[in-house]
Amino acid sequence: MIRVKDFLRFFLFVSMIMVTAVRADINLWVMSFDNLHSDSEIKWLKEGFVDFIVDHYADNDYVRAYRSEKLDETLSVIKRNPAYQNARNYVVSGAYHRDKGEFIVDLQLTDLKTWETLAKKQVHEKSSDLEQLIMTVNKALDEIVDPRVKESIKTNAGEEKTPEQEVFDVGKDKNLEDIREMTVATKDIGSALDKLLADFQEKPEQYREPEPFSQNQFSQDAFTDRVRDFVRETHSFEQTMNFILNDPYEINIGEPTIQRLPMNSQSVLLSFRIDYRIKMEIVREMIETLKIKGKKEGETYIEYSFSGNDYLFTSDFIKRVAYGQYRYFPVVSLKDENGNAVSRIIDAPGTIDQIKHFNPMFNIAAGPWTMTIYLVKGVQEIDYELTLPIRTVAKISQVSIDMMTEDEIVQLVEK
């Protein structure tokens, strides 16, 4: 017999997938790129290109790009999910190498339904500027994807988006708009909460223990809306740090649960788990392209030190480190379907409604002659709990996480 808990979990899983999947006309499943000559200096681009492409299509109305870690799992997700099946699913594969200082990147678009190679493109980039390379690759991909989008629009002409599709295009949280765009993880939880609440209200006499969390079950790589506006060069210390710190965390949002409060029939305890981890492979590979003076590695950490003899640490950079401008803390916003925050958890020290859970997993200690970078390995699992009126929970459609510096948090709180 299927237990209620299992059913609920299955329902949540299906509803989450439905909400997140019915989005685009074209889904691009982006695989890690092939580093053709096993060039260790640019090995990190294997995953880097995937991130850049996923970011590039984050705001596209017709195309959605997802990381495909394992193609067999991707195919299985598509097969299980009608929402994906109804869209066109293309795999993006790529390979890159350097030849006489020139970057050569091959892109290939393959239809996952027919395994037909739809398009191929090779791009050459002479500039050593990483931002230029990213733009060139994204532009090339646009050139091979755009004709498919036009085809798709033609085919779907006359069809209107369903309300479910519209939910995805939530507006930005107005309070954060003029600070900077920084949302690093988002998840739609409206359907799940609706179901939980409906179930809850149908059987008021039952007291339900909180469901155990299942890690990462519904998580999607939602590192979207990041502004990558740094001028980057792979061998400049400060610029490499800026680039890493622009997006160092991988964040997964677990499923929400609600629990009745014995003394308060109008409110519930809303709980959910968020996992934080450093994008260790990319971060480590990028750091290791720099000239390292020392490296210590333990079970839970990696520590790198850099010498002022090798790099000029500018006083501006040292000040920014000292002022904590590289220490990010999560601000978890529960939003309604219009993207407005109905409740917010600021998980940082020194704020008014502070709760202290999160410890930064990327730390820099700076001095004029040495610089130390400390990376925390593993996952930081944090269970967040909020007591909210049932009517407020009913409005929640999405949870999103912004990683903010303490200064930015103060600005947010002052608003």
Q: Which residues bind another protein (CB under 8 A)?
A: 31-32, 34-38, 70-72, 75, 91, 93-95, 97, 106, 108, 110, 115, 117, 120
Whose Cβ is closer to another protein: residue 122's or residue 309's? 122
The pair phi, psi for residue 237, each rounded to 5°, is: -55, -55
Task: For residue 337, give every residue at least 6 positions away whose Cβ sits within 8 Å of its Cβ, in sequence order, or none.
Answer: 167, 170, 190, 395, 397, 398
Query: To the nearest whole angstrom, how small is the minimum distance from the Cβ of residue 220 to another protein?
Result: 19
Report, in Å, the least distance between residue 145 CB and another protein: 16
Query: What 3-state DSSP class applies to 10?
Result: helix
Smallest gap, in angstroms, from Cβ of residue 32 to another protein? 5
CA of 160: how far to CAs of 146, 153, 157, 164, in Å? Answer: 20, 11, 8, 11
Are residues 93 and 58 in contact, defined by beta-carbon separation less than 8 angstroms? no
Let me know the angle formed at the C-alpha of 374 by 371 and 375, rounded to the nearest 5 degrees: 145
> Where is 30: in which H helix or E strand?
strand 26-30
Q: In this complex, which beta carbon is closest to another protein, that of residue 119 or of residue 135?
A: 119
Q: Which is nearer to another protein, 115 or 207 (CB)?
A: 115
Judged by CB, which is closer to another protein: 15, or 110?
110
- Nearest to another protein of 36, 410 (CB atom): 36
The residue among 93 and 333 lying less far from another protein, judged by its C-beta, is 93
- Radius of gyration of the chain from its Cα atoms, rounded to whole angstroms: 23
Structure tokens at 195: 């179901």
Amino acid at 343: S
Q: How far is the CB of 72 from another protein (least distance, A)?
A: 6
Min separation Cβ 68 and another protein, Å: 8
* Beta carbon nearer to another protein, 30 or 373: 30
Task: Give the shortest CB-131-to-another protein separation in angstroms.
Answer: 24
Longest dimension (CA), the chain: 73
Tokens found for residue 54: 């996923």
Buried b (16+ CB within 10 A) or exposed e, 384-413: bebebebebbbbbbbbbbbbbbbebbeebb
Provide the minimum distance between the beta carbon of 94 and another protein in the complex, in angstroms, as a whole number. Answer: 7
